[in-house]
Amino acid sequence: MAFKSYVLVCGGTACQSSKSEEIYKNFIAELEAAGIKDEVQVVKTGCFGLCEKGPIAKVLPDESFYVKLTPSDTKEIVSEHLVKGRPVKKLLYQGEETKKLAKIEEIGFYQKQFRIVLRNCGVINPEDINEYIARDGYAALEKVLFQMTPEQVIEQLKISGLRGRGGAGFPTWLKWNFTKEVNDFPKYIVCNADEGDPGAYMDRSTLEGDPHSILEAMTIAGKTIGSNKGYIYIRAEYPLAIHRLEVAIQQARELGLLGKDILGSGFDFDIEIRLGAGAFVCGEETALLTSIEGERGMPKPRPPFPAVKGLWQKPTVINNVETWASIPVIILKGGAWFANIGTEKSKGTKVFALTGKIKNSGLVEVPMGTTLREIIYDIGGGIINDKKFKAVQTGGPSGGVITADYLDTPIDYENLQKLGSIMGSGGMIVMDEDDCMVDIAKFYLGFTVDESCGKCAPCRVGGRQLLDYLEKISKGKGTREDIAKMKQIGNAMKRASLCGLGQTAPNPVLSTITYFEKEYLAHIDDKICPAGKCKALITYSILPEKCIGCGLCARRCPVNCITGEKRQPHVIDQSACIKCGECYSVCKFGAVARK
């Protein structure tokens, strides 16, 4: 019996945390109750990317895009749409721009995207290997096992121009080639799935939505460089991704796509999962390898590079999830096809996790060279409440801020670096006029200080010193000399830290100083925080001429420090005020002033 309709329910972590699992089960139950369970297939897929609007379900072939579902909505969708063919309009995605009901291809969020890495996310059931196979899964592996020499594989990678998506953008083919050329066995293949940048979750989504693409790519690498063993190092905080990987590995083994003598080719390859405890530094490749070995995850000096002496001192190819996910496509469609996408030096696509003050937060995959403006305005739908864009932080805590002046910069590795930021794993946090740059720098520094492994002095001590200066400045106690000292420390950290974490940790500070020095000086010289974020520098007061004495602020004040007679202007007791800003945001008459 063929199915007449399909319901694709997002099974990504974000949607699952808002009950998509229940929605999935309700769909099945409702269909059964309606007597059409044999006519409609319900599929739990990976992430659709538009996480802002989750939980999401898509009905095919009608391409109805249901958003922000609750478990009880399923009854109506089944009885109206699936039984009677009448889409439930109130639950459909409403395009912000046009206020029109949108089909998926009409949604701005998806229009400028180009999906290679996320090609199967939201399309297939990640827990069914057959669906992956149906989407040309394991066809690249076939090619590598039976038609291509290792040299040809590396040649295609070289032509493709693929560069490591984990941060620094090292050419993938070179990495593979180094490892291939070393005559020292056994060799290892490692997938770095220790994603840790705040706000970044593309690796998690890829693993949840398309785990087989990683397994296939790692097996391809194994065949190419002569390794029979792969490890996926994934943080234990990703239980769903781990589960999907476990299921995928099991299914691949059952079909003989992992294990001994794959597809009768005589090539053996198997993959094991290693769980990380969530230390950010373990995303650094040498620390990650040390952690797999069972030691404390601390970076080691390079050289020797993992390609020569990696896991257990043996040659090791280590790539991150996004890099791996691109590989089967490159093999299948050819390096030249991939090289057609992107800019001169940065090829292919890049997945960004768009968050912050943006309307459509979520995962987006765009060709390299797409401008920040396109991502933020066309895909992201612009700033929440149509406030003024201030800056965007790329590269997470290792990156820097990019200001409005550079919104039309095509994004690639080189351009971001020129602007004092980095590609990193692809986090993109959008800030508006309400964000204070000192505060932002403080946030990121706080993160890296927490996550520094503590091994090397510049990072361990320098990070803390920088954070202390930022705190001092945000309290209005900073001096101009402090800025010079911060630059001195930042430079020493960049030059003398052992690993990427320490070398890039000062970036958020240095780049905010570069682009927003005035804002720093406002904190230092004028003792004001222009964005009104730094609590020590702001006071809330009630303007008697505007206050009508409604008492709303007094009722909302969590510390009861606002008093006043009914219909008389109220007063804030400054000694008790905790500067939470609640009065400021609830006053409908603009009677609360923030200075």
x/- string (CB under 8 A) for other proteins, residues 146-165?
Answer: x-------------------
> Least distance to other proteins from the beta carbon of 321, Å?
24
- The smaller minimum CB distance to other proteins, of residues 217 and 257, is found at 257
Long-range CB contact pairs, 565-573, < 8 A, 24+: 569/542, 569/544, 569/545, 570/542, 571/542, 572/540, 572/541, 572/542
> In this chain, which of 9, 50, 287, 498 binds other proteins, going by CB under 8 A?
498
Question: Of the listed pieces 202-210, 418-426, 457-465, 537-545, which binds other proteins according to CB under 8 A?
Answer: 457-465
Phi, psi at 377, each rounded to 5°: -95, -45
Give the shortest CB-61-to-other proteins separation in angstroms.
5
Residues 6+ apart with CB under 8 A from 239: none
Joined tokens for residue 411: 């994004």
The one segment of 153-161, 390-398, 482-490, 559-567 that binds other proteins by CB under 8 A: 482-490
- DSSP H helices, 375-533, are 413-418, 437-451, 457-474, 480-496, 500-504, 507-515, 517-524
Q: Does the footprint of other proteins cover residue 488 (CB under 8 A)?
A: yes
Kindly report the length of the chain: 595
State the minimum distance, in angstroms, from the CB of residue 495 to other proteins: 5
**Is there binding between residue 571 and other proteins (CB under 8 A)?**
no
Q: Does 86 bind other proteins (CB under 8 A)?
A: yes
204 lines the binding site for other proteins (CB under 8 A): no
Q: Pattern of binders to other proteins over 257-276, x per CB under 8 A?
A: x-x---xxx-----------
DSSP states along 360-401: S-EEEEEETT-BHHIIIIIIT-SBGGG--EEEEEESGGGS-E
- DSSP string for 40-108: EEEEEE---S-GGG-S-EEEETTTEEE-S--TTHHHHIIIIIIIH----GGGB-B-TTT-SB-BGGG-H
Options 331-339, 407-415, 452-460, 544-552: segment touching other proteins (CB under 8 A): 452-460
CB of 444 to other proteins, least distance (A): 14
Terminal-to-terminal C-alpha distance of the chain: 69
Please choose, out of 4-12, 172-180, 214-222, 365-373, the segment that lies near other proteins by the rule CB under 8 A. 4-12
**Min dist. Cβ of residue 132 to other proteins (A):** 9
The single residue among 111, 184, 278, 296 that binds other proteins, judged by CB under 8 A, is 296
Binding window for other proteins (CB under 8 A); candidates: 208-216, 268-276, 336-344, 463-471: 463-471
Q: Count how many Cα atoms sit within 13 Å of the Cα of residue 97 in the half-sphere of its side chain.
A: 12
Mark the segment that binds other proteins (CB under 8 A) among 206-214, 390-398, 431-439, 444-452.
Answer: 444-452
Q: Which of 21, 25, 28, 62 binds other proteins (CB under 8 A)?
A: 62
* Contact between 430 and 376 (Cβ < 8 Å): yes
C-alpha span between 57 and 60 (Å, rounded): 10
Whole-number Å distance between alpha carbons of 311 and 334: 30
Tokens standing for residue 244: 């999907």
Nearer to other proteins by Cβ, of 159 and 496: the residue is 496
Contact range with other proteins by CB under 8 A, out of 65-73, 83-91, 232-240, 566-574: 83-91
Separation in Å, CA 548 to CA 66, 554, 557, 574, 582: 44, 12, 17, 20, 17
Choice from 50, 51, 124, 325 touching other proteins (CB under 8 A): 124
Question: What is the 3-state secondary structure of 422-434?
Answer: CCCCCEEEEEECC
Kindly list the residues in this chain that would bind other proteins in the complex (CB under 8 A).
1-6, 36, 39, 60-63, 83-86, 124, 130-131, 133-139, 142, 145-146, 254-257, 259, 263-265, 279, 296, 298, 300-301, 303, 449-458, 460-465, 468, 485, 488-489, 491-492, 495-498
